[in-house]
Structure 1
Amino acid sequence: MAIDSHTTTSTDPASRTAPPPGAGRLSGRARLVLFVLCAAQFMVALDFSVLNVALPVLGKDLGLGQSALQWAVTAFALPSGGFLLLFGRIADLYGRKRLFLTGLAVFGAASLLATLAWDPASFLTGRALQGLGAAVIVPTGMSLLTTTFPEGPLRDKALGISGTLLSLGFTVGMVLGGVMTDTLGWRSTMGLLAVAALVVLVLAPGLLPESRTPERPRLDVPGAVTVTGGLLAVIYALSTAAQRGFGDMDVWGTLVAGLVLLAAFAAVESKSPAPLVSLPMLGRRTVAWGNLGGLVTFSMMSTVVFVLTLYLQETLELSSFLTGLVFGVQGIASVVAGSYAPRVIGRFGARRTLVGSLAGQGVLGLALLAVGTESGALLATVAVSLASMCHLGAIVSYGVVVTSGVPDAEQGLATGLVTTTQQVGLTIGIPLLGVLATTQATLFDGVRTVLAVDAAIVLAAALLVAAGLRRAKP
């Protein structure tokens, strides 16, 4: 049941005019519900980055070799991306609130296990269970948000706040992880997540409404097996490619197997009486092109952050603390952009906002090519902060484009696609382009090469999304 607002449900966001005064105003209870849902999303986003700077210390403490450190990240990424669609659909059928609370409990217990880990196996088990909990929390939290807040200015505002905290979580994690590791040790980063999960788990039951589809169709087991297996294989291949390179036969074999399974999934869904993913939904231009925009903005922005981290620390020789400050400014810019994104969407429509945001991200990526060794840190700070503002606009608007016009009974499917796009985008960018940074004559040349390719991909995507959405029906 949607929370009452001072507005009515809107039509297609691309055709909206400016909302009347007071539209989209959140009530006190609505703010509490949004706080709980956004806190959970922020917690998961934090988990993606808070451990990164602690990996060398963690490896020495647990006896995890240099070549095995990637599994601290991969063990989380595999289940968190692979099971998103499955859990999004299960939540539609059996209750989003119930599954959301279960995911929080699993995530909190897994974080505690990772905090107390006594050897590599126990730590990696905790990380894998964290990823499984995240695969439940992310799609159920997003579908609770879109079914609780009605389509229009209120939902746009909620998605804007959620997108801001999602982006801010990655940035805060990078800074907070370094500070906590230096002062309290690497275990404190996992302990923080356990405490956060407990707080949200205590608050959520009394605030969140239960929602599910009115019917109870059978779960599409063949579809679940093929799509989950396919996503796991593709994410594993792309994650390990960053360490082994794309010339490794195991990487190619796993990638091909994943693509075959995803093709089998499409075939299964076309004949299933109760498909896990409705092919007509995937055929919606707003769903297809909106998710393409989301995939590109996430994958390419994560790559920019990766290569700029190399540039600032290796070329300019900035400390981890100063590098964290650069990305701290980026985080502030993201907060500002997130607060204004719903207003921009209300004025220009979600489709135009998505295309314009992608174009801005691409142009500012090109501006980063002017980064040099003299005033590089200042220029990088300004350019990446402005690019992050466009990135936030793309995050919020693509979520609105994909979920608008989708009935509540299918919101879990739509938001499952949205969150799968996020996770896959965060996974594939660095393996696909990051390797270029280390294969050029110098690291500086490699960074410039990556930034040029990155910007070209974003600008091309902006043109494709603009053309695709122009032909989409309101």
Structure 2
Amino acid sequence: MTATLDAAPVRLSSRQRVTLLVLLGAQFMLAVDFSILNVALPAIGAGLHFSLEHLQWVATAFALPAAGFTLLFGRIGDLFGRRRLFLTGLALLVAASLLGGFAQNQPTLLTARVLQGFAAAMATPAALSLLTTSFSEGPRRDRALGLNGALLSSGFTTGALLGGVLADVFGWRWAFLLNVPVALIIVCVTPFVVDASRTPQRPRLDLPGAVTVTLGLLLLVFGITQGSVLAVAGAAVLLAAFWFIERRAVSPLAPVRILRRPTVRWGNLGGLVVFAMGSAVVFLGTIYLQEVLGFSALATGLAFAVPGLVAVLAGVLGGRLLGRLGRRLTLVGGLAVQGLAFLGLVALGADRAMYVPLVVLLSIGFFGHIAAIVAYTVTATSGLPDEEQGLATGLSTLTQQVAITVGIPLVSAVAATRSDVLGGIHTAVIVDVAITLVAAFAINHGLRKARI
């Protein structure tokens, strides 16, 4: 059902404000950490003598555990304590960042990236589930998740800007070391402001389900990043086995009844599309600015500064949009705004004067992008008891990780079908927008049928 606007203002207690600050600070830091090294990759390659074909492993070493273990750790947080898992993830992130910052060879750096991926798989779903369980379902949670969505997007943008500045001015090692003091502060403050979750009964872990889904996701991410059809096929077999195991397990890792919920199913589809197609457009915009228009890396980063600010505004307003429009219309409307705004990129040519229209179109698209992220997060985690929030947030985080992994390779493959760079970008944008709008139509139909 469509929500109505609550006349009463949403007020948070002092403790809730500090809790929100800590958890959102952690999410922002993790988003920055995800993107900051992508910009610094060339400097890392030069510093540790990575060849061009091997440099991608710096990103892949993070993506494999970050996506492959997210669902498992989300459920572990439900069973053994979300705050404990959150603090463990942040502590591991500190250790891994120090290892990477002082790495003197390729194996050490890749080990640090793998550990950072594990840390993200622990801390990200735990932080999101702590956020949803710290605020009751309704306007307060909507506001918190709206701010979370805004900081995720602004964190990715900030990371891109910081990565370039740090690599150029201070050296690539600071891209690893920057989050160490921030993470340590959060680790010290969290026990005093975030309540520990309680397990009502003796925890049991679905080991067969955990093994099949983790191996399946690892193969899926590997297959996508490496272009291996065999790995993707193996992932499909393992994920199908996981589905059958969950239907019969006494204590399933991901109960089928949750996966069958329309809010979980359609919400996560929305998240998959909004993150995959949004990150793909950021990639295409970067190529357009540098390869077609000839702008520097700094000018390219600044082009995303205004859309980043608009994204923060969209996150702040996200809760109000949900109150006025409801989850379905906010999610579908956000996807539609993202798709239609990005469609305007097809009209941009090779003149440097296109810089301003690009920034305007990206800003409009980012507003819809963040509105959809807020709505997808609320939709995918609503109507569930607190003891299953770790699973729900693990699913939504997994959706995000897989989407970012899938989006860029997809549009890159489409762009490569054209001989000229600008033509390839235009073709890829059309495919990107088509996927976004078709998904919006399907989600609208599915959620309307479910009376949401």
> Which position in structure 1 is the counterpart of 2:180?
194
Could you tell me how far 1:473 is from its partner in structure 2? 4.7
Partner of 1:349: helix, strand, or coil?
helix
In the TM superposition, 1:191-340 aligns within 5 A as 191-241=177-227, 251-340=228-317
Larger mean Cα displacement after TM superposition, 61-70 or 218-227: 61-70
Alignment-derived partner of residue 450 in structure 2? 472
Distance in 2 (alpha carbons) for counterparts of 1:217 and 1:329 = 47
For residues 21-43 of structure 1, give each alpha carbon's deviation from its aligned partner in whole angstroms, at most 9, with x where no partner exists: 32x22222111111111111111
- Alpha-carbon distance between aligned partners in 2 of 1:439 and 1:320, rounded to the nearest angstrom: 26
- The equivalent position to 1:445 in structure 2, one of 401, 406, 423, is 423
2:398 is matched with which residue? Answer: 420
Question: What is the one-letter code of the residue matched to 1:122?
Answer: T
Unmatched 5+ residue regions in structure 2? none
Aligned to 1:123: 109
C-alpha distance in structure 2 between counterparts of 1:252 and 1:336, whole Å = 41
State the percentage of identical aligned residues. 51
- Give the Cα–Cα distance (whole angstroms) in 1 for the partners of residues 53 and 346 of structure 2: 32
Equivalent residue letter for 1:395: I
Tell me, in whole angstroms, the C-alpha distance in 1 between the residues paired with 2:327 and 2:12: 20
Specify the SS of the correspondent of 1:16.
Answer: coil
Written as runs of structure 1 = structure 2, the 5 A alignment for 1:22-421 is 22=9, 24-241=10-227, 251-374=228-351, 375-421=353-399
Shift of 1:120: 0.3
Question: 1:15 — aligned with what?
Answer: 2
- Retained in 2: the 8 A contact 1:86–1:228? yes
Distance 2:220 2:251 in 1: 25
Q: Give the aligned residue type for 1:302.
A: S
Does the 8 Å CA contact 1:213/1:408 hold for their aligned counterparts?
A: no
User: Take 1:93 and 1:177, find their aligned partners in 2: how far apart are those partners?
Assistant: 37
Q: How far, CA to CA, are the matches of 1:179 and 1:424 in structure 2? A: 28
Provide TM-score, normalisation by structure 1: 0.94
| Structure 1 residue 16: Cα displacement | 1.8
SS at match of 1:50: helix
Deviation string, structure 1 residues 273-329 (Cα, Å, up to 9, x no partner): 000001011111111011101100000000000011000001000011110110111
Secondary structure (helix, strand or coil) at the match of 2:344 reads helix
Amino acid at match of 1:207: V
Measured after TM superposition, the shift of residue 48 of structure 1 is 1.6
Report if the CA contact (8 A) 2:74-2:125 is conserved: yes
RMSD over equivalenced CA pairs, Å: 1.0
> Letter of the aligned partner of 2:128 in structure 1?
M
Which amino acid in structure 2 is aligned with residue 131 of structure 1?
A: G
Q: How far is the alpha carbon of 1:15 from its aligned partner?
A: 2.6
Q: How big is the shift at 1:195?
A: 2.1
Is the 8 Å Cα contact of residues 85 and 416 (structure 1) preserved in structure 2? yes
- TM-score calculated relative to the size of structure 2: 0.98
> Is the Cα–Cα contact under 8 Å of residues 2 and 328 in structure 2 kept in the other structure?
no
* Residue 244 of structure 1: aligned partner: none
Q: Once structures 1 and 2 are overlaid, which stretch shifts more, 37-46 or 444-453?
A: 37-46
Question: 1:400 and 1:212 mapped to 2: Cα distance?
Answer: 23
Mapped to 1, the partners of 2:201 and 2:445 lie a distance apart of 37
In structure 2, the residue matched to 1:7 is none
In structure 1, which of residues 448, 455, 472 is the aligned counterpart of residue 433 of structure 2? 455
Q: Does residue 1:430 correspond to 2:408, yes or no?
A: yes
The structure-2 alpha-carbon separation of the partners of 1:369 and 1:212, relative to structure 1 and needing over 3 Å to count, comes to: farther
Question: In 2, Cα distance between the equivalents of 1:436 and 1:384?
Answer: 21
CA distance in 2 between partners of 1:202 and 1:376 (Å): 47
| Cα contact 1:217–1:274 (8 A) shared by 2 | no
Equivalent AA in structure 2 for residue 405 of structure 1: G
Give 1:436 deviation, angstroms. Answer: 2.1
In structure 2, give the amino acid aligned to 1:265. Answer: F
- Give the superposition deviation at 1:217: 3.9
Q: One-letter code of the match for 1:258? A: A
Provide the C-alpha distance between the structure 2 equivalents of 1:216 and 1:417, rounded to a whole number of angstroms: 23
Counterpart contact for 2:80–2:203, Cα < 8 Å: no
Q: Distance in 2 between matches of 1:196 and 1:427?
A: 26
The structural deviation recorded for 1:376 is 1.7
Question: Structure 1: where are the runs of 5+ without partners?
Answer: 1-13, 242-250
Q: Distance in 1 between matches of 2:373 and 2:300?
A: 24
Quote the residue 1:246 is aligned against. Answer: none
Structure 1 residue 73, shift from structure 2 partner = 0.4
Structure-2 separation of matches of 1:329 and 1:157: 22
Taking the aligned partners of 1:53 and 1:287, their CA distance within structure 2 comes to 33
Please state how far the C-alpha of 1:387 moved relative to its aligned partner.
0.3
Question: Partners of 1:450 and 1:473 in 2: how far apart?
Answer: 34
* Distance in 2 (alpha carbons) for counterparts of 1:157 and 1:202: 25
In 1, Cα distance between the equivalents of 2:287 and 2:232? 27
Distance between the aligned counterparts of 1:127 and 1:80, measured in 2? 10
Name the counterpart of 1:5. Answer: none
8 Å contact 1:368–1:383 — kept in the other structure?
A: yes
Matches of 2:144 and 2:216, distance apart in 1: 32
